[in-house]
């Protein structure tokens, strides 16, 4: 987006972002989430002096892999966001930011790319731990049974085998 296209009068913009980069981030060992659909973005943008203001909403469907039972599940991702872009200057980099400036990002040149900023908002909206349900019981650590669907097959003996030596000890009084 060209900086010169951002005016003092707020303008609305609707577009879709491809999830390719997000899916690349969650490939390999970290397969907690995947993004089968594009990110739908509604954005209102305007400027005040050299500062650029953005208010928007990102929506999509996310596929998660539960960290307790390992099943795949889908959930809607919706997040409203606000961010401000200020001109990048070496003076701004060398000074300590106050509390009001912590939400600032910086831009340089005559064109800005909103893609990384939108991706960042989608990442911030993800749960820290993927769970299909808060009440998910997960898998039995011994027999691997899905405790959401059935009782485990290993019976009542959940004793740690490393403690067997202590169970077999005879105490003399």
Say yes or no: 120 and 153 in one domain.
Answer: no
- What does the pLDDT read at residue 102? 57
Question: Model confidence over 22-64: pLDDT tens digits?
Answer: 999 888 777 889 999 999 999 999 999 999 999 999 999 999 9
Place of tokens 């050299």: 50
Q: In the prediction, which pLDDT does 93 show?
A: 54
> Model confidence at 97, in pLDDT bands (50, 70, 90)?
low
By the 8 A CB rule, do 1 and 118 touch?
Answer: no
Residues 17 and 56 in one domain: yes
Q: Which domain holds residue 164?
A: 138-173
User: Are 53 and 105 within 8 A, CB to CB?
Assistant: no
81 and 51 part of one domain: yes
102 and 172 in one domain? no
Note the pLDDT of residue 105: 83
Phi, psi of 90 (to 5 degrees): -65, -30
The Cα–Cα gap between 79 and 124 comes to: 9
Phi, psi for residue 159 in degrees, rounded to 5: -70, 145
Q: Does 133 fall in a domain?
A: no
């Amino acid at each position: 987006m060209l900086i010169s296209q951002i005016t003092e009068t707020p303008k609305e913009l609707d577009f879709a972002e491809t999830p390719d980069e997000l899916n690349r981030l969650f490939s390999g060992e970290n397969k907690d989430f995947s993004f089968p659909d594009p990110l739908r973005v509604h954005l209102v943008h305007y400027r005040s002096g050299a500062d650029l203001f953005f208010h928007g909403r990102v929506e999509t469907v996310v596929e998660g892999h539960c960290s307790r039972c390992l099943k795949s599940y889908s959930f809607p991702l919706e997040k409203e966001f606000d961010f401000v872009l200020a001109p990048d200057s070496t003076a701004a980099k060398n000074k300590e930011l106050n509390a009001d400036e912590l939400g600032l990002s910086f831009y340089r040149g005559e064109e800005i790319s909103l893609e990384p900023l939108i991706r960042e908002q989608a990442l911030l909206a993800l749960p820290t731990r993927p769970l299909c349900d808060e009440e998910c019981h997960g898998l039995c650590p011994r027999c691997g049974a899905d405790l959401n669907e059935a009782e485990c097959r290993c019976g009542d003996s959940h004793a740690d085998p490393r403690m067997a030596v202590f169970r077999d000890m005879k105490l003399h009084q």
